[in-house]
Structure 1
Amino acid sequence: MLRIHFTAADLLDVRFADDPAPLVELELAVAMLQRRDTDPGFVRWRRGLAASGALAATAALRELVPPTGAGPFFLDPIAPDLDQGLELVRRSTNTLVRSELERICGAGLAVTPLLKHLADQDQQAWRYLSDTLRSAYGAVIGTAWPQLRAGFDADLRWRGQVQRQEGLRGMLAGLHPGSRWRGCTLEIPVAKELDFQLRGEGLLLLPSASWTGRPLVGSYPDGPTVLVYAALTPLPYLTQTDPAPGADPDDPVAVLLGRTRAAVLRLTLREPTTSQLAAALGVGLASASEHARALRRAGLVSTARTGRSVRHSCTQLGHRLLAAPTAVVQS
């Protein structure tokens, strides 16, 4: 269980990041590329990067970033611009670098020559790291940045809508399925036992389209405590080029959910089974189930078993999204 302990001052200082952070997105994308428990969209995305040769650009970064996404803090500063982020990486103190490298190696990453050279402040190794970050960003994230930015903005507007209707506590609990409040402590179900005391310094919320894992919390040196959570629409669905059957290319809900998941949400108005969803979308059962599961995590769809079938229905929150898309998705 991840427990985030809020004071009254912390609750008054919960805020969203103004912009997505390029190096955070890159680090989490590198983590996702190593995972095997991802949805079909990420599997296809990884295959596409491998086929184009772009996957090779992340090889060195996989020495620093584990599949858990908990890479070293000096690698992913919260900076809205790539050049600014790279400058912050280059200015990392040796104390921070050594402590973070010890942490990730203690968590299971191998001690490689690159890590040793970075710890020793070898200038050639640091230039190599900077060049690698830039090239990997261009290969994996850069071409998709406009769609990622649009998804980020749409996610923030949607969370604002949820907060207006359900309050701050309801919005925070809705960032990850199964989360709940116990007094002033937000409990998020994860495999490890983790506790974070905010101590009046507030919390910065950062949605990531490159990540579908559990929320990640960390306190940056001389910076805020950040909660990174999975955005409603993962990157592969923001950049998909094949529209769902019957999808409206100008549908504003698709900006938030992706075209396929917007189509899924509308189909759940008819309470279809998973097989009916798959047939309507022209996809496999596993893919249809994953789309429904993602919408269920967001509170937009509920699922119930009736006999040997599983039926999916649109929730009240899903109805509100479909009924007022321009208010939620467009500025």
Structure 2
Amino acid sequence: MLRVRFTADDLLRVTFAREPAPLMELGLALAAMQRIGLPPVFGRWQQSLRRTLPRGARPLLELVPPSGRGPLFMDPLSRGLDDGLDAVLSTPGGYVRSELDRVCSAGRRPVTPWLRALADQDRDAWRLLADSLRTAYDSVLGESWGTIRSAFDAERAWRTRLLAEEGIRATLAGLAPGPGWRGTTLEFDWPEEALLELDGRGLVLLPTTVWSGWPMLALRPGLPSVLVYPALSPLPLLGEVPRAEPLAALLGSTRAAALGLLTRQRTTTDLAAELSIAKSSASEHAKALRAARLITTERDGKAVWHSCTPLGLDLLAGTGGPGPAPRAQAVGGRR
């Protein structure tokens, strides 16, 4: 049982990550690859990972145990792979050593020559770590990252609406299996007994598409803790969801694709770039969706931000989401 004790300040400081963390997702994927007894939905995906993981990525298995509880310096919240790698490579030496000691002393990973070299800040060891992380990301997540990002956006939109309708306690209790709340302590099913105090720094919610079962809690010194929990739709299913045509028939293919993108807040410029249309056309589509009360629009300085309304989310949920965004033959061309 995992018990997470909240203060009033913690409950006021619960936030949702703005985007998925590439290296966090990669670490959990490598852990899931090694686990026994995964749900059947992960079976074929797990077998494929075991078969295709490149030799250049395999050193990471010395760091990542099947439990997913590897060294925290490998799992930064970041705004992309390069940003994440920069964070890993700039980790203070003392924190690296303490995390490696924690992982190895708990019996999760044996002490190998490479891990000793990492703890001693050996340049060649750290160069191997960076190369292995990049190779593993390209092999395990690279082709799927757009799908993972879309699933994250949908999950975030749904949980945000749940928060508005049912409140913070119900939202947090529904993230993973467990008894729920006992006073200000939230309990989740977990393979060990643990009590964790958030100490008023708050909590960041981060869904993952490659992990199942119990949640993972990362305590970060001086920063809000991160609760990583399984998203509603796991990665192996995301590519199999049939694309719905009714929404495109109702709104038009470009407008339906725009609505699907707006499960995450985007600017008019973002919409134009992702739909490969002119900014003026993107503005027209947003105006039509706003008139139908499917999106809302806010101005922040020169930027105009759009996002789905609850009605828009209901429409997307009822049709399974829009099909893939059409590609323009020429910028500004009509659909």
Give the Cα separation in 1 of the matches to 2:27 and 2:246: 31
Asked if residue 197 in structure 1 is aligned to residue 197 in structure 2, the reply is yes
SS in structure 2 at match of 1:15: strand
- Match for residue 88 of structure 2? 89
Root-mean-square deviation (Å): 2.4
Letter in 2 for 1:74: F
The answer as to 2:102 corresponding to 1:103 is yes
CA offsets 1:233-286 (integer angstroms, 9 cap, x no match): 11111234xx6xxx554488xxxxxxxxxxxxxxxxxxxxxxxxxxxxxxxxxx
What residue number does 2:112 align with? Answer: 112
C-alpha deviation, 1:152, in angstroms: 0.4
Structure 2 unmatched runs, 5+: 248-309, 323-335
Q: How does 1:1-331 map to 2 (within 5 A)?
A: 1-51=1-51, 53-54=52-53, 56-108=55-107, 109-240=109-240, 247-250=242-245, 324-326=314-316
* Distance change >3 Å, CA 57–CA 234, structure 1 → 2: farther
Shift of 1:203: 0.6
Does the residue aligned with 1:152 lie in a helix, a strand or coil? helix
* Partner secondary structure for residue 153 of structure 1: helix
The one-letter code of the counterpart of 2:79 is P
In the TM superposition, what is the alpha-carbon distance from 1:189 to its structure 2 partner? 2.1
Separation in 1, partners of 2:16, 2:165: 17
Checking the alignment, whether the CA contact within 8 Å between 2:63 and 2:71 is kept in structure 1 is yes
The 3 A distance-change label for structure 1 pair 112 and 9 is same
Q: What secondary structure sits across from 1:324 in the alignment? A: helix
Please state how far the C-alpha of 1:165 moved relative to its aligned partner: 2.7
Return the alpha-carbon distance in structure 2 between the equivalents of residues 146 and 34 of structure 1: 24
Q: 1:82 to 1:137 in 2, by over 3 A?
A: same
Distance 1:248 1:141, change over 3 A: closer
Deviations 1:210-252 (A, max 9, x none): 1113111121234321111011111111234xx6xxx554488
Distance 1:167 1:3 in 2: 20
Aligned to 1:267: none
CA distance in 2 between partners of 1:105 and 1:78 (Å): 23
Given the two structures, how large is their TM-score scaled by the length of structure 2? 0.72
Residue type of the alignment partner of 2:164: R
Report if aligned partners of 1:50, 1:56 keep a CA contact under 8 Å in 2: no
- Listed one character per residue, the Cα deviations across residues 120-178 of structure 1 (whole Å, up to 9, x for unaligned) are 11100000100100010000011100000000011111112222332110010000122
**Partner SS, residue 80 of structure 1:** coil
Q: Percentage identity across aligned positions?
A: 47
Task: Indicate how the Cα distance of structure 1 residues 221 and 239 shifts in structure 2: closer, same or farther if over 3 A, else same.
Answer: farther
CA distance in 2, matches of 1:15, 1:216: 16
Task: After TM superposition, give the deviation of residue 54 of structure 1 in Å.
Answer: 3.0
Q: Distance in 2 between matches of 1:194 and 1:64?
A: 22
Q: Is the 8 A contact 1:154 1:330 kept in 2?
A: no
**Number of residues paired by the alignment?**
257
Q: Is the 8 A contact 2:203 2:224 kept in 1?
A: yes
- Alpha-carbon distance in 1 for matches of 2:218, 2:200: 15
Supply the AA of the counterpart residue of 1:199: D
The change in CA–CA distance for 1:251 and 1:207 in structure 2 (over 3 A counts) is farther
Segments of structure 1 that go 5 or more residues without pairing to the other structure are 253-319
Task: Give CA-to-partner distance per residue, 1:260-313, whole Å, 9 cap, x none.
Answer: xxxxxxxxxxxxxxxxxxxxxxxxxxxxxxxxxxxxxxxxxxxxxxxxxxxxxx
CA distance in 2, matches of 1:202, 1:159: 17
Alpha-carbon separation, structure 2, partners of 1:21 and 1:14: 18
Larger radius of gyration: 2
